[in-house]
Amino acid sequence: MRLRLFVNGTPRTIDGVDERATLVDVLRDALDLTGAKVGCNRGECGACTVLLDGRRVNGCMVLGASADGHEVVTVEGLGTPDDMHPMQRAFVDCDALQCGFCTPGQVISAVACLKEGHAGSPGEVREWMSGNLCRCSAYAQIVDAVLSAAQQDES
């Protein structure tokens, strides 16, 4: 099948997509956007988190076909190493990453958390980021990064 997506600000047409392919598979396999990871493939870990029309979703739980005609933002669309998104910068500054496997999903979810207005306290951040697991246990630093980005956003 043919998919038309607006990915990271660019219109993309992808031919030959299997109707059963998930959004994360389409992003990784057809578009070579490998930031979103396939962790559990059951919607439990959040490693595949992307923004779909501005809303965070687990890419492993969304069929690529259902994203046809929609806007998708991946971690690659937030910033570059030379021009990081404020949340990416906060993750680096707060040392909120260890092995890095979960980091792209964490960053995307953190961006959404801030946009949704759920970064008022450490407890609120923990609650709204609870769908993203970190096996290295960098949770304290992740919360610090989200709160740091929230403070910068208010300035």
Domain coordinates of the chain in residue numbers?
Answer: 3-77, 86-154
CB 23 within 8 A of CB 72: yes
The label of the residue with tokens 């300035």 reads 155
Fold of 86-154: DNA polymerase; domain 1 (1.10.150)
Domains 3-77 and 86-154 alike in fold: no
> What pLDDT, on the 0 to 100 scale, is given for residue 35?
96
Q: How much is the pTM? A: 0.94
Taking the C-alpha atoms of residue 56 and residue 18, their distance in angstroms, rounded to an integer, is 23
Q: What digits encode the pLDDT tens for the residues 23-44? A: 999 999 999 999 999 999 999 9
3-77: CATH topology is: Ubiquitin-like (UB roll) (3.10.20)
- Reply yes or no on whether the pLDDT at 94 is more than 80: yes
Structure tokens at 93: 């500054």
Answer whether residue 47 shows pLDDT above 80: yes
Q: Evaluate if residue 89 carries a pLDDT over 70.
A: yes
What is the reported pLDDT for 96?
96
pLDDT in tens, 98-111: 999 999 999 999 99
- Does the structure show a pLDDT above 90 at 119? yes
Average pLDDT over residues 63-91: 96
Give the Å distances, CA to CA, from 131 to 21, 47, 61, 109. Answer: 22, 9, 13, 9
